[in-house]
Amino acid sequence: MAVQFSEALKKTIEEVSEIAGYLWQRGWAERNAGNISLCLKDIPRSDLPDDYQPFFISLPESFPDVAGKCFLITATNHRMRDMARQPMKNAIIIRVTDDGNGFNIISHYGKTDLRPTSELASHLAVHSMIARRKSSERTIIHTHVNEIAALTQLREFCDEKHLNRVIWSMHPEARIFVPGGVGFVPYSMPGTTRAVEATVRSLEDHQVAIWEKHGLFAIGSNPSETFDLIDIIAKSASIYLMCRSTGKEPEGLTDIQIDELGKLKF
Ligand code: 2HA
Ligand code: ZN
């Protein structure tokens, strides 16, 4: 028997699965690539079954800043394309314990073989940073955007300034809708402390951290807005690569044009 979720939680799960489908359709989520997490508003006890047995897993390090918080998070070794169709067979809801040293699986009555993504430490570290600064982002999406993986195979784009210049100058909307630009995280083994720390540092100043030769990690207030950010960045990178495939260097918007777009108010 499945756990009965509130209507609000059901809608949230639907929204995440819709976005998971887009990641797959865009070709950014091969095999089990990518992961999504969402910090849930407190789950009322009434949303949990009376007899639920929260399954406990300890964390290799403590995350006190997200103690007591609940997250919907994609499961390790599961596919985004399956998440799109059957979200709760491919994601779990966890609650970080009150001491931050572990978490309980609170979906599936705690009875499931599903385990959180291999990038759990990156997700919890970024949610912790967001909690410390009390900003409104609740969603994290990691995905393998082809255009970004391709661009960062070229040494000249493994540079924050150069990357932002390309992203902002290839399409007017990019300057408007990615106002903080992107951060750049040099390649390191995914999931390692080094990668996690560099990602958190990068997301302190940007909504998107580009992962060299891998993809990106983006934060936003909800799944749709987070996807929009990624979509716009991918568009700019793709226009750049299309132009370059003609053998020519694109002209791009000028600094003045980019500044002018930066001053637009909505
Ligand atoms: O979830 O994409 O970087 C699998 C990955 C790890
Ligand atoms: Zn990845």
Residue to mutate (ligand 1; options 24, 31, 35; most atoms within 8 A of CB) = 35
Structural tokens at position 79: 């596919």
Q: Can you tell me the mean pLDDT for 40-51?
A: 72
For residue range 99-125, list pLDDT tens digits in order: 999 999 988 877 899 999 999 999 999
Ligand 1 centroid distance, CA of 239 (Å)? 26
Instruction: Give 78-91 pLDDT, tens digit per residue.
Output: 999 999 999 999 99
| pLDDT computed for residue 1 by the predictor | 38
Tokens of 257: 């044009």
32 lines ligand 1 (CB under 6 A): yes
Cβ atoms within 10 A of the Cβ of 58, count?
9
pLDDT in tens, 1-35: 355 678 888 999 999 999 999 999 999 999 999 99
- Assessment of whether the complete model's pTM goes beyond 0.85: yes
Counting from 1 in the atom list of ligand 1, the atom nearest the Cα of 143 is 2
Please name which ligand lies nearest the alpha carbon of 192: 1
Check residue 4 and give its pLDDT: 67
Give the pLDDT score at 43: 74
What's the pLDDT at 55?
Answer: 86
What's the 182 CA to ligand 2 centre distance in angstroms? Answer: 17
Mapped to the 3 state alphabet, what secondary structure does the chain carry? CCCCCCHHHHHHHHHHHHHHHHHHHCCCCCCCCCEEEEEECCCCHHHCCCCCCCEEEECCCCCHHHCCCEEEEEECCCCHHHHHHCHHHCEEEEEECCCCCEEEECCHHHCCCCCECCCHHHHHHHHHHHHHHCCCCCEEEEECCHHHHHHCCCHHHCCHHHHHHHHHHCCHHHHHHCCCCEEEECCCCCCCHHHHHHHHHHHHHCCEEEECCCEEEEEECCHHHHHHHHHHHHHHHHHHHHHHCCCCCCCCCCHHHHHHHHCCCC
Residues with active-site annotation:
119
Instruction: Determine the pLDDT at residue 49.
Output: 66
pLDDT, tens only, 211-250 = 999 999 999 999 999 999 999 999 999 999 999 999 999 9
The response to whether residue 33 sits with its C-beta less than 6 Å from ligand 1 reads: yes
- Does ligand 1 come within 6 angstroms of the Cβ of 54? no
Q: What local confidence, expressed as pLDDT, does residue 170 receive? A: 98
- pLDDT of 111: 85
Residue 52 has pLDDT above 80, yes or no: no
C-alpha 33 – ligand 2 centre gap (Å): 5
153 CA to centre of ligand 1 in angstroms: 18
Quickly count: other Cβ atoms within 10 Å of residue 60's Cβ.
9
